[in-house]
Amino acid sequence: MDGTLFRSVNKFFIIAFCLDIKSYKSFMHRPDSFFLATKMAAPLTLLLIVAVTIRAVLFRSSLAELISARVEVVSPLNAWKRVVEGLALLDLGVSPYSGDVFHETPLMIYLFHFTVDYAEIVFIVTDGITALALYLSIQTYNKDVFRKQKYALESDRYSADCLELLRSPKEMFYIPLKVAMFYLLNPFTILSCVAKSTCGLNNAIIALFIFCTLKGSALLSGILLALATYQSIYPLTLFAPALLFFLQRLYIPVNLRRSSFWFFTLQYAFMYVGSLVVITGLSFFLLGSWDFIPSVYGFIFSVPDLTPNIGLFWYFFAEMFEHFRLFFSCVFQINVFFYTIPLSIKLKEHPVFLIFMQIAIISIFKSYPTVGDVALYMAFLPAWSHLYRFLRNIFLVSCVLLACSALFPVLWHLWIYAGSANSNFYYAITLLFNFGQILLVADYFYAYLRREHHLTHGLYLKKKDGTEATLVLK
């Protein structure tokens, strides 16, 4: 008796909810889209203006020089000082890769060859583009999520008691804006931009790649992914989520025995590899030599520069005997690529979340990480705000990340200037910072899976003996 009542009430709620969705849909596809545009465009413009003002003020202040010397903000790969050095060599007619200073890609140096006088504007605009791309991506993604949720509801795939887990248009409305805000106003992004770290450009390429992928343009996605890979290799692992996304979009099941699967995979891989070859070939013709391959990719893989940074590599490799170096550089580099396989299997239904996980893993395990990399994946956090209730360590993680960000410059001061501390102090904080990041990512991963589990199995789980059950990640 009670059960049927409960069910009917629930049914009522679900119907009400669908109505809500319909109103949302009609809202999204309103004929007077101008109204919508102005409604969201105003805060976005305001946000852009604020972000640009902050950056412009900082560029003009004396802090800019200080920031651009911080090891947390710039790495040997993306320091502006090195770009300038490369440009000087290029102007002298010498290969910019002679000497061991310059490690940017040839396209990057030609970009700055023409825009070096407007470098500050380039960096500000790049940040704006990244934020816009992220904004539009998340908007598209949210619509997508919503559509899927509706179909799932209509086909009764969700458990009856998980109504409160469903997402409502009201809470989702401001998420794209929040994502853009998290990127533009994140102190890490601001620091990175003011330091003129080329990390901002790489972020823009990745953001554009995500945008094109979510918009469903396989060709552009392939080209941008190739460009991102060309810039820093590691985005290579984003191939898997992009492929999964397209497969899902085209309703092609991930089945190794189906020819349609292989056909599309090969098609996408061809676009990707083809553009990679074209870009690399173009670089060769620009410079007339293959110097950049060892100088950029060799430099990323073999980690010869052990300047301290927020990553895990420098300390280990500084302490290591030379004959173990090859082995350990393989072990360390494998970290970035290895997690792609299990994550792709586990998250094959959720490629966008997989993209987030991959970007986070890249920024944690890459050989020369900077805070700019961290900022990119942190921008996605508002998109997962519905997972908030399942996060377990968010207090601990935010305390750790906050404290570490403050302690980096303090311990650097004690080590380098005061001479009273040593590298162990700094590395301890690096370790803690990465521990915090890993915990954050793991927490979101767990929360995402748990929500999915509840959606299908119901929110109130019971053990076999009828007591309340809890989910444990082991």
Partner 1 sequence: MGLLSDPNRRKALTGLLTRLNTPICIVCYLAGIVWFMGLAFEPFTLRTYMSENAMGSTMVEERFSSGERALSLAKEFDAHKRKAGGMPVEWLVKAMQSRGLEVFTQSFSRKLPFPDENKERYMVRGTNVYGILRAPRAPRTEALVITAPCSPGNTNNQAVALLLALAQYFRNQIYWAKDIIFLVNEHDLIGTQAWLEGYHHTNITGMEYSPLQGRAGSIQAALSLELSSDVITSLDLVLEGLNGQLPNLDLANLFYAFCQKLGVLCTIQGKLQRNDWDTAEGYTHAAQTMMLMVLKQACGRSWGDHGLFLRYHIEAASVRGINSFRHYKTDATTIGRLLEGMVRKLNNLLERLHQSYFFYLLPSLSRFVSIGYYMPAFGLLAVILLLRALDLWVHLGAPALAAVDGVTEAEQPSSPGVLTVLTPVVISHLTGVALYLLPVHLQEMAVEHFPVSETEAVVLTAIAIYTAGLALPHNTQRLLSGEGTEQGWKVLKLTALLYLAVLLGCTALINFSLGFILAVTLVPITASITPHIALYAVVMVLLSPAFTILYCVFIYQELIEAPVSVSEGWMLFLSVISQGILDHALYGSLVYPLLALFIYPCWLMFWNILFWN
Q: Closer to partner 1 by CB, 113 or 392: give it.
A: 392
Give, as one character, the DSSP assignment of residue 469.
P
State the Cα–Cα distance between residues 307 and 368, nearest whole angstrom: 9
Q: Closer to partner 1 by CB, 360 or 411: give it.
A: 411
State the Cα–Cα distance between residues 276 and 256, nearest whole angstrom: 25
State the Cα–Cα distance between residues 455 and 156, nearest whole angstrom: 11
The number of angstroms, rounded, from the C-alpha of 474 to the middle of its chain's C-alpha atoms is: 26
Amino acid letter, residue 243:
L
258 binding partner 1? (CB under 8 A): no
Task: Pick the binder of partner 1 from 389, 424, 431, 457 (CB under 8 A).
Answer: 389
The closest of 124, 75, 423 to 132, measured between CA atoms, is: 124
58 binding partner 1? (CB under 8 A): no
Cβ atoms of residues 68 and 74 within 8 Å: yes
**Of 196-204, 227-235, 302-310, 453-461, which segment contacts partner 1 by CB under 8 A?**
453-461
**Least distance to partner 1, CB of residue 185, Å:** 11
Query: What does the buried/exposed string (b/e) look like for 234-256 if buried means 16 or more CB atoms within 10 Å of the residue's CB?
Result: bbbbbbbbbbbbbbbeeebeeee
Burial class (CB in 10 A: 0-12, 13-18, 19+), 368: buried
399 binding partner 1? (CB under 8 A): yes
3-state helix, strand, coil in the chain (%, to 5): 75, 0, 25
Report the site for partner 1 in 410-439 (rule: CB under 8 A). Answer: 410-411, 413-414, 417-421, 439
State the Cα–Cα distance between residues 233 and 458, nearest whole angstrom: 42
Both tokens of residue 352?
């966008």
Task: Pick the binder of partner 1 from 56, 64, 287, 459 (CB under 8 A).
Answer: 459
**Of 25-33, 344-352, 365-373, 387-395, which segment contacts partner 1 by CB under 8 A?**
387-395
**Of 320-328, 357-365, 375-383, 460-468, which segment contacts partner 1 by CB under 8 A?**
460-468
**Of 59-67, 275-283, 308-316, 383-391, which segment contacts partner 1 by CB under 8 A?**
383-391
474 binding partner 1? (CB under 8 A): yes
**Of 46-54, 119-127, 333-341, 401-409, which segment contacts partner 1 by CB under 8 A?**
401-409
Other CB atoms closer than 10 Å to residue 424's CB: what's the count?
10
Count of residues in contact with partner 1, rule CB under 8 A: 37
463 binding partner 1? (CB under 8 A): no
Q: What is the H or E stretch that residue 242 is in?
A: helix 239-249
Q: Length of the chain, please?
A: 474
Query: What does the buried/exposed string (b/e) look like for 329-351 if buried means 16 or more CB atoms within 10 Å of the residue's CB?
Result: beebbeebeebbeebbeebeebb
Q: Closer to partner 1 by CB, 264 or 435: give it.
A: 435
388 binding partner 1? (CB under 8 A): yes
**Of 186-194, 259-267, 332-340, 397-405, which segment contacts partner 1 by CB under 8 A?**
397-405
Q: Closer to partner 1 by CB, 63 or 326: give it.
A: 63
461 binding partner 1? (CB under 8 A): yes
Q: Closer to partner 1 by CB, 299 or 353: give it.
A: 353
Task: Pick the binder of partner 1 from 403, 428, 432, 455 (CB under 8 A).
Answer: 403
Both tokens of residue 97?
């890769």
How many Å is the Cα radius of gyration of the chain? Answer: 24
Task: Pick the binder of partner 1 from 392, 423, 428, 453 (CB under 8 A).
Answer: 392
41 binding partner 1? (CB under 8 A): no
**Least distance to partner 1, CB of residue 376, Å:** 23
Helices of type H across 305-393: 313-319, 325-338, 340-346, 351-365, 371-378
Bridge partners (DSSP) of residue 468 are: 462
The closest of 309, 12, 317 to 160, measured between CA atoms, is: 12
Q: Closer to partner 1 by CB, 328 or 425: give it.
A: 425
Cβ atoms of residues 106 and 125 within 8 Å: no
Q: Closer to partner 1 by CB, 25 or 392: give it.
A: 392
391 binding partner 1? (CB under 8 A): yes
**Least distance to partner 1, CB of residue 319, Å:** 18
Q: How far is CA 197 from CA 61, 116, 203, 349, 474, in A?
A: 17, 13, 11, 35, 39
**Least distance to partner 1, CB of residue 391, Å:** 7
170 binding partner 1? (CB under 8 A): no
Q: Closer to partner 1 by CB, 52 or 442: give it.
A: 442
**Of 108-116, 249-257, 293-301, 464-472, which segment contacts partner 1 by CB under 8 A?**
464-472
**Least distance to partner 1, CB of residue 471, Å:** 8
6 binding partner 1? (CB under 8 A): no
The closest of 307, 305, 359 to 329, measured between CA atoms, is: 305
Bridge partners (DSSP) of residue 462 are: 468
SS3 448: helix
The site map against partner 1 for 147-166 (x = CB under 8 A) is: -----------------x--
Applying CB under 8 A, the residues found at the interface with partner 1 are 164, 388-396, 399, 402-403, 406-407, 410-411, 413-414, 417-421, 439, 446, 450, 454, 459-461, 468, 470-474
